[in-house]
Amino acid sequence: MEKRQIKENIYWLGAIDWDRRLFDSLIPLPDGTSYNAYLIEGSEKTALLDTVDPPMEGTLMAQLEGVSKLDYLISHHAEQDHSGTIGRVLEKFPQAKVVVTQKAKGMLMDLLQIPEDAFMTADDGQTLSLGDKTLKFIHTPWVHWPETMVTYLEEDRILFSCDFFGSHIATADLFITDPCRVHEAAKRYFAEIMMPFGKIIAKNLEKLKDYNIDMIAPSHGQIYDDPAWIMDAYRQWVNGPPQNLVALPFVSMHGSTRQMVDYLADALVQRGVRVELFNLPVTDIGKLAMSLVDAATIVVGTPTVLAGPHPAAAYAAFLANALRPKAQFLSIIGSYGWGGKTVETLAGMIGNLKVEVLDPVLCKGLPGEPDLQALDNLADAIADRHKEQGLI
Ligand code: FEO
């Protein structure tokens, strides 16, 4: 795709990756993604903001064909989907300075072997004049690596935010046409990579309150020409209370755990508690991550395999522990054949979670009356906790 004008002398460059379905060998991308770079031509200097993932290098270089000079290459984030083509751009424009935070400089030297003399570091709040356009660099650590920053273009009131506010969507529409779709994709992206850093992200959002922002141009997905709603959504995700929701990831081998999951789900709904089920062998873990943004309670359902939880349930527990959601309550349900340490093993995997663990319900084989009663008791306990928190 050709470069496209956003405003006078400001262009979108980059690549739309319609086919990509997995990021970091981990994160599902049901709608593909894009790697957005931006070109700003000031009256005196020209700057490129970020690059693209290396497999898309040819697309960016073709877009830069008609660009006669480049003075600065702003690198907001050292991850390779944005930085991976810096070396190739510097081959074409060897005089360009790579503008980065001090931390990013070291990371790019390590990750891409870019020589030290190619860099110019930017302090928090530092400005850089392109003549009639001024770039202001705002350090925003942990969105989602420690070195990240964003750029505010003062005259045009555009925030170039890199991963911050981004969404994995492949589309030829430069500006948002369907806010609901983008809200879900942005929430998924937040859940998968930013949720663990919620407190620092809250500080970064606070910092951005001082700026008049007409437009947010992220490095994945579409440009926000009405950015207030996505900033409000982020505030809700990081600062808002958990919701009256149980996230219930589970796996079942022969149907016993599934019976328990379905019974508990029904019991929760009868008590006015929302519940979302995720059958782990077939679920999209991005959907589970999104549920964890909101859920006040997590219940993991698993059979006992080889004396412990099913590996799929262990994966979900590991993921939840790493994502550090705001859930306040947790329990474990499931079935076993002859014994094991399922509860102990799972409980040992969630040390990061600040949760009250509610009595687990494990049954031998298919659930009988006492087991169903125990599930009713668990549903009562969850509903009571949600009421005490004012969530119902
Ligand atoms: Fe889109 Fe953290 O890279």
Residue 342 neighbours by CB under 8 Å, 6+ apart: 302, 304, 308, 309, 332, 334, 336, 362
Percentage with pLDDT > 90 across the chain: 98
Q: Tell me the C-alpha distance between 106 and 113, whole Å.
A: 10
Domain 4-239, CATH homologous superfamily name and number? Ribonuclease Z/Hydroxyacylglutathione hydrolase-like (3.60.15.10)
Q: Tell me the C-alpha distance between 189 and 313, whole Å.
A: 22
Atom of ligand 1 nearest to the CA of 220: 1
How do the domains of the chain map onto residue ranges? Answer: 4-239, 247-386
Q: Is 220 in the pocket of ligand 1 (CB under 6 A)?
A: yes
Tell me the pLDDT tens digit for each residue of 186-196: 999 999 999 99
Q: Is 139 in the pocket of ligand 1 (CB under 6 A)?
A: no
Q: Tell me the C-alpha distance between 139 and 124, whole Å.
A: 5
Domain 247-386, CATH homologous superfamily name and number? Flavodoxin domain (3.40.50.360)
User: With contact defined as beta carbons under 8 Å apart, do 329 and 356 qualify?
Assistant: yes
Query: How far is the CA of 360 from the CAs of 301, 356, 379, in angstroms?
Result: 10, 12, 11
DSSP state, residue 175: B
Question: pLDDT band for position 1 (50/70/90)?
Answer: confident
**Nearest CA residue ID for atom 1, ligand 1:** 163
Q: Is 144 in the pocket of ligand 1 (CB under 6 A)?
A: yes
Question: What pLDDT does 155 receive?
Answer: 98
- pLDDT of 375 > 90? The answer is yes
Tell me the pLDDT tens digit for each residue of 237-275: 999 999 999 999 999 999 999 999 999 999 999 999 999
Q: How far is the CA of 349 from the centre of ligand 1 (A)?
A: 27
Q: Tell me the C-alpha distance between 30 and 21, whole Å.
A: 6
Atom of ligand 1 nearest to the CA of 219: 1
Q: Tell me the C-alpha distance between 100 and 69, whole Å.
A: 20
Atom of ligand 1 nearest to the CA of 162: 1
**Tokens read off for 160:** 């170039």
Query: How far is the CA of 222 from the CAs of 97, 190, 363, 370, in angstroms?
Result: 27, 15, 49, 53
What is the chain's mean pLDDT, rounded?
Answer: 97
Question: What pLDDT does 316 receive?
Answer: 95
Q: How far is the CA of 81 from the centre of ligand 1 (A)?
A: 6
**Nearest CA residue ID for atom 3, ligand 1:** 79
Mean pLDDT of all residues in 130-135: 98
Percentage with pLDDT > 70 across the chain: 100
Mean pLDDT of all residues in 219-233: 97
Q: Tell me the C-alpha distance between 54 and 59, whole Å.
A: 10
Tell me the pLDDT tens digit for each residue of 314-329: 999 999 999 999 999 9
Q: Is 77 in the pocket of ligand 1 (CB under 6 A)?
A: yes
Q: How far is the CA of 219 from the centre of ligand 1 (A)?
A: 8
Q: Which stretches within 69-177 are classed as H helix?
A: 80-83, 86-92, 102-112
Mean pLDDT of all residues in 108-115: 98
As beta bridge partners, residue 243 has 295
Q: Is 53 in the pocket of ligand 1 (CB under 6 A)?
A: no
**Nearest CA residue ID for atom 2, ligand 1:** 79
Q: How many CB atoms lie within 10 A of CB 45?
A: 17
Question: What pLDDT does 281 receive?
Answer: 97
Atom of ligand 1 nearest to the CA of 144: 2
